Amino acid sequence: MFLRLIADSVKRRPRRKLLTIAALALGMAVVTAALSVSLDVGDRLAAEFRSLGANLLVTPQADSLPLEIGGVDYRPANSVAYLPESDLPKIKSVFWHNNIIAFSPILELRVEALPFVYRAGKYQSANWMDNVPLIGIWTDHVVSLSDGAKFETGISKTNPWWQIEGRWFSESAKECVIGSAFAKRNRITIGDSISLATGPITKIPSPHTVTGIVSSGGSEDESILVSLSQSQLLAHQPGQYQKLYVSALTIPEDSFARRDPKTMTDKERERWMCAAYVSSIAYSIKEVLPGSDVHVIHRVADGEGQILNRVRSLLWLVTFAALLAAALAVGASSAASVIERRSELALMKALGAGSTSVGFLLAAEQLLLAFLGGTLGYGLGLLLARVVGTRIFGVAPAPSLLVLGVILVLAILITLLGSALPLRRATCFEPAPILRGQ
């Protein structure tokens, strides 16, 4: 009988019920889209931010130790500290190893260079150039991890904004890439060769073939780039590097993240280590690389956090506005429905129905509308989220049962909240005056 009364009420006033369902559906569609994008936006933005480059820089600890007396730095001008290349696989053994998506070691030195340019059908050599910057890097390097897995990394992943004309050198061949400014000044093109040497030159070394010209907007445009192993041979530093760029997926830092872990309690330290803050990842890397200092590149890390916080704040603001609009629409529709049904409700009370029974009947009708409106809104929200996700990130967020559950709960709460006052007034109707037409 109770279900029959609810079904009969819905059938007799379809337009009013459809208006309530439409208001809920529109509101829940916006909330669904906002929640879907919000849950997905962190990973999407983190992937997009990797185009900004590495957010961590590893250097030898000896380079950070001051040697000053009376304000004068007494460190030798040519003193260079190194880190062992053999320790690099340990980076993928830290707690946040899945968040570390790339790393690339670098070795810098100064060399003598002798270009061989192809002109008039033959190679012609110029004069030796002194003090030429040379950078040893990984391009597409495969690292063997302790668990037997392979990890492909290199400068193309930590510095994706570098533009290459031609191709990167092969690490197994005697090849090189030159900076765009260096190539333009010395009229070197792809296919030419350059001999590289350090120390006294007794004979001309076999040349490196130029396979590409790189543009980075930095000092690399004035340099010659070779494989890390080739630079180690020229620097007489086998298995060593000077600095390491690391690209890691992180979450925005707050005041807790910026605290010194040495001042934390064990519980706070555990919480700090179990959050993907850039500072906690840096601390983990420092623990597995002895003799190193890990610095956060704040212009990248801070930019990520600020943009992510602003995007999420905007989505939460849109969600709140949609919920408020849906609640007001449901309240207005519910109030109008109660006024229309005053005679019906008064008759029910005159026949013996109590205020609790009347209120329970009206609430059940509203819950049915909430379920229908929430389900319809979830479907429309998925379409809206697909459009927003595709336009902004190029990939639509995946449907989530968690979002569906949240939407249904929100639809019920908004419906009950919006119709609470009209339902309360309906339960307080006195049947006699209404039935007399007063």
DSSP result, 298-313: HHHHHHHHHHHHHHHH
Is it the case that residue 335 has pLDDT exceeding 90?
no
pLDDT in tens, 87-122: 999 999 998 888 898 999 999 999 999 888 766 556
Least confident span in 62-66, 180-184, 235-239, 288-292: 62-66
- Number of residues that make up the chain: 438
Is it the case that residue 419 has pLDDT exceeding 80?
no
pLDDT score recorded for residue 225:
96
Within this chain, do residues 266 and 127 fall inside the same structural domain, yes or no? yes
pLDDT band at 68 (very low <50, low <70, confident <90, very high): very low
Domain that holds residue 349: 2-48+308-435
Last residue of a domain, one of 273, 296, 319: 296
Cα(27)–Cα(318) distance, integer angstroms: 10
Last residue of a domain, one of 267, 296, 325: 296
DSSP 3-state of 429: coil
- Quick one: average pLDDT of 295-319? 69
Within this chain, do residues 149 and 176 fall inside the same structural domain, yes or no? yes
pLDDT score recorded for residue 305:
57
pLDDT score recorded for residue 147:
84
Burial 164-200 (b: 16+ CB within 10 A, else e): beeebbebeebbbbbbbebbeebebeeebbbbbbeee
pLDDT score recorded for residue 212:
95
pLDDT score recorded for residue 431:
61
Q: Residue 110: which residues within 8 A CB-CB, separation 6 or more?
A: 131, 132, 133, 134, 198
Tokens standing for residue 373: 């409106």
pLDDT band at 140 (very low <50, low <70, confident <90, very high): confident
pLDDT band at 226 (very low <50, low <70, confident <90, very high): very high
Q: Residue 257: which residues within 8 A CB-CB, separation 6 or more?
A: 272, 275, 277, 279, 280
Instruction: Look over the chain and give the mean of its residue pLDDT values, rounded to a whole number.
Output: 79
Is 437 exposed, middle or buried (CB count within 10 Å of its CB: 0-12, 13-18, 19+)? exposed
Higher local confidence (pLDDT), 160 or 238: 238
pLDDT band at 73 (very low <50, low <70, confident <90, very high): very low
- Quick one: average pLDDT of 391-414? 79
Which of 81-95, 263-277, 328-342, 365-379 has the highest average model confidence (pLDDT)? 81-95
Is 366 exposed, middle or buried (CB count within 10 Å of its CB: 0-12, 13-18, 19+)? buried
pLDDT score recorded for residue 211:
95
DSSP 3-state of 139: coil
Is 392 exposed, middle or buried (CB count within 10 Å of its CB: 0-12, 13-18, 19+)? middle
Within this chain, do residues 90 and 105 fall inside the same structural domain, yes or no? yes
Higher local confidence (pLDDT), 424 or 237: 237
Which of 26-40, 179-193, 318-332 has the highest average model confidence (pLDDT)? 179-193
Whether 328 maps to a domain, the answer reads yes
Higher local confidence (pLDDT), 240 or 411: 240
198, amino acid identity:
T
Whether 141 maps to a domain, the answer reads yes
Within this chain, do residues 358 and 419 fall inside the same structural domain, yes or no? yes
Higher local confidence (pLDDT), 74 or 282: 282
Within this chain, do residues 347 and 376 fall inside the same structural domain, yes or no? yes
Whether 303 maps to a domain, the answer reads no
Whether 316 maps to a domain, the answer reads yes
Within this chain, do residues 316 and 283 fall inside the same structural domain, yes or no? no
pLDDT score recorded for residue 69:
45
102, amino acid identity:
A
Within this chain, do residues 270 and 354 fall inside the same structural domain, yes or no? no
pLDDT score recorded for residue 89:
93
Q: Are strands 292-296 and 163-166 parallel, antiparallel or unpaired?
A: unpaired
pLDDT score recorded for residue 410:
86
Is it the case that residue 232 has pLDDT exceeding 60?
yes
Measured CA distances, 55 to 228, 295, 361 (Å):
21, 9, 59
**Type and span of the H or E element at 104:** strand 100-119
pLDDT band at 75 (very low <50, low <70, confident <90, very high): very low
Within this chain, do residues 219 and 336 fall inside the same structural domain, yes or no? no
Whether 301 maps to a domain, the answer reads no
Within this chain, do residues 86 and 170 fall inside the same structural domain, yes or no? yes
Return the percentage of the chain with pLDDT > 70, whole number: 73
Is there a contact between 285 and 91 (Cβ–Cβ < 8 Å)?
yes
Domain count within the chain: 2
| Helix (H) and strand (E) counts in the chain | 13, 17
Least confident span in 62-76, 140-154, 286-300, 398-412: 62-76
Cα(202)–Cα(193) distance, integer angstroms: 19
**Type and span of the H or E element at 8:** helix 2-12
Within this chain, do residues 209 and 334 fall inside the same structural domain, yes or no? no
pLDDT score recorded for residue 205:
86
Whether 250 maps to a domain, the answer reads yes
Last residue of a domain, one of 244, 264, 296: 296
pLDDT score recorded for residue 169:
94
Within this chain, do residues 95 and 235 fall inside the same structural domain, yes or no? yes
Cα(390)–Cα(397) distance, integer angstroms: 8
pLDDT score recorded for residue 40:
67
pLDDT score recorded for residue 33:
84
Within this chain, do residues 340 and 243 fall inside the same structural domain, yes or no? no
Tokens standing for residue 137: 């890097």
Whether 193 maps to a domain, the answer reads yes
Cα(172)–Cα(143) distance, integer angstroms: 15
pLDDT score recorded for residue 92:
92
Whether 200 maps to a domain, the answer reads yes
pLDDT score recorded for residue 51:
56
